[in-house]
Amino acid sequence: MTTSSIDRAASTADVPRPDENHWPGLETPPHSPFRAKIAESLFRRAVRTLDVRVLLPGGEKLGTGGSGSPEMRIIRPEAFFHRLGADAKIGFGESYMAGDWTSDTLAELLTPFAERMAVLIPPVLQRFRRFVDRRQPTSEQNTLEGARANIHRHYDLSNDLFGTFLDQSMMYSSAIFGPEDDLTAAQHRKIDSVLDYAGVRDGSEVLEIGTGWGELAIRAAGRGARVTSLTISEEQRTLADERIAKAGLSDRVDVQLCDYRESQGEYDAVVSVEMIEAVGAEYWPTFFGTVGERLRPGGRFGLQAITMDHERMLASAASYTWIHKYIFPGGLIPSTQAVERGMAENTGLKLHGVREFGQDYAHTLRLWREKFTQRWNKVADLGFDEIFRRMWEFYLAYSEAGFRSGYLKVHQFGFVK
């Protein structure tokens, strides 16, 4: 370990002890020597061929990476391996939050792991995953009440928090970048694309499932459409209404605090951007069926969705991960096959267009993460602590790595009734 690495590692050891009221169970690592030993063996095996540098106290180096490769510094190896042994899908991220390890190039470090996600655990051991994987808690299922609670845990954190790192469009989904686009222009390009898939034009009656902070509804109304927009986040509805009023479009946009399952009426177009990931697989037939019911004959559906390969979706469908515990409870990322089959089986709508732009999402996330880091003092002033900072950094970098590696993708779909 170089002197500079030792200095940087020492600074991370100063991460404050987690407040037990806010971060229950995070301060004290679980204790299971046998499982920790297995986790250490598997971790060493996983990183030995990766182009990374894993530095341990005492100078031991793992991985094939040279001096310019992404570097992971394990500061408290005992705590790190005990967390991995207790539950690798949660413990890896928790150990970063707690300061057991750190990296100055987090997204770059996580990308090689994401590229080999399917083979990090030897195939002979993967057959035992059903015995060790935690299942998603029944309390996080997306019933009408459960969905509201799940959304509240993320989207109702604070409008001001999201405002610190999103651009002025307040779009919290992947942009589509043109050659000269800044983030706001790229977000508008994305909105225009999904509205085109949905055939939104002057005079269209549009249903939006998932309001966000109102930008898509504003842009659709700017085309001359009338928009009914549904959200189950009170914080988002409040700010969306303010932004719509400021744009002078309150007479054309009606934001309702309403679950998609409680929606009414028929529309020329339905649009939904990155909301399906929060629906839950058991409710996908209901979601797709609702879209079909809300559309008039000849109507169109524009959908933007994060996706993963079908086999990976099936393998992870029942797993409870760090993302579920800390960021998005109750969700599942679909495959393109799940979307297209679900629409065919539950609506009879026909696919008329699709595009993929996962690397644009990696770029979007990098811009968000950079801005979040640069404006951390403003976030801290809102009452968020150092553990939250590390959690949010890991979330944004982990997601960026997923798209950089191709493990995750993002698609827009156009369907017609």
Same domain, 309 and 165: yes
- 125 vs 173, higher pLDDT: 173
Q: How confident is the model at residue 109 (pLDDT cuts 50, 70, 90)?
A: very high
Same domain, 79 and 146: no
* pLDDT attached to residue 222: 98
Q: How confident is the model at residue 155 (pLDDT cuts 50, 70, 90)?
A: confident
Instruction: Collect all residues with Cβ–Cβ distance below 8 Å to 226 and sequence separation of at least 6.
Output: 204, 205, 206, 252, 253
* pLDDT attached to residue 14: 66
- pLDDT tens for residues 191-219? 999 999 999 999 999 999 999 999 999 99
Average pLDDT for residues 335-350, to the nearest whole number?
96
* pLDDT attached to residue 8: 40
Same domain, 159 and 286: yes
Same domain, 41 and 167: no
Judged against a pLDDT cut of 60, whether residue 7 lies above it is answered with no
Same domain, 245 and 382: yes
Residue 162, helix vs strand vs coil: helix
Tokens 């991995």 locate to 84
Find the CATH number of the domain harbouring 359.
3.40.50.150
Same domain, 234 and 348: yes
Average pLDDT for residues 18-23, to the nearest whole number?
87
Same domain, 227 and 277: yes
Q: Is the dihedral of CA 208, 213, 214, 215 positive or negative?
A: negative
- pLDDT tens for residues 328-340? 998 999 999 999 9
* pLDDT attached to residue 5: 38
* pLDDT attached to residue 145: 86
Judged against a pLDDT cut of 70, whether residue 3 lies above it is answered with no
Lowest mean pLDDT among 7-11, 40-44, 87-91, 276-280: 7-11
Q: Among 80, 99, 134, where does a domain finish?
A: 134
What proportion of the chain, given as a percentage, has pLDDT over 90?
A: 81
Distance, CA of 310 to CA of 292 (rounded, Å) = 23
Q: How confident is the model at residue 4 (pLDDT cuts 50, 70, 90)?
A: very low
Number of domains in the chain: 2
Instruction: Collect all residues with Cβ–Cβ distance below 8 Å to 9 and sequence separation of at least 6.
Output: 1, 55, 57, 73, 75, 102
Average pLDDT for residues 90-99, to the nearest whole number?
96
Q: Among 118, 134, 150, where does a domain finish?
A: 134
* pLDDT attached to residue 131: 46
Q: Which two tokens stand for residue 12?
A: 């991370």
Domain containing residue 151: 139-416
Same domain, 306 and 369: yes
Q: How confident is the model at residue 368 (pLDDT cuts 50, 70, 90)?
A: very high
Judged against a pLDDT cut of 80, whether residue 117 lies above it is answered with no
Same domain, 79 and 123: yes
- pLDDT tens for residues 282-329? 999 999 999 999 999 999 999 999 999 999 999 888 889 999 999 999
Same domain, 116 and 160: no
Judged against a pLDDT cut of 60, whether residue 1 lies above it is answered with no
Which of 22-26, 78-82, 329-333 shows the highest mean pLDDT? 78-82
Instruction: Kindly report the average pLDDT of the chain as a whole number.
Output: 91
Q: How confident is the model at residue 391 (pLDDT cuts 50, 70, 90)?
A: very high
* pLDDT attached to residue 18: 87
Q: How confident is the model at residue 17 (pLDDT cuts 50, 70, 90)?
A: confident
Instruction: Collect all residues with Cβ–Cβ distance below 8 Å to 242 and sequence separation of at least 6.
Output: none
- pLDDT tens for residues 141-152? 888 888 888 888
- What strands, in cross-sheet order, belong to the sheet with 71-74? 61-62, 53-55, 71-74, 101-102
* pLDDT attached to residue 141: 80
* pLDDT attached to residue 146: 84
Distance, CA of 124 to CA of 142 (rounded, Å) = 34
* pLDDT attached to residue 9: 40
Judged against a pLDDT cut of 90, whether residue 267 lies above it is answered with yes
Specify the amino acid at residue 410. Answer: V
Judged against a pLDDT cut of 60, whether residue 119 lies above it is answered with no
* pLDDT attached to residue 199: 98
- 134 vs 257, higher pLDDT: 257
Q: How confident is the model at residue 156 (pLDDT cuts 50, 70, 90)?
A: confident
Same domain, 64 and 152: no
Specify the amino acid at residue 125. Answer: L
Average pLDDT for residues 172-200, to the nearest whole number?
98
Q: Among 134, 160, 177, where does a domain finish?
A: 134
Lowest mean pLDDT among 131-140, 201-210, 407-416: 131-140
Q: Are 69 and 50 in contact (CB under 8 A)?
A: no
Same domain, 102 and 195: no
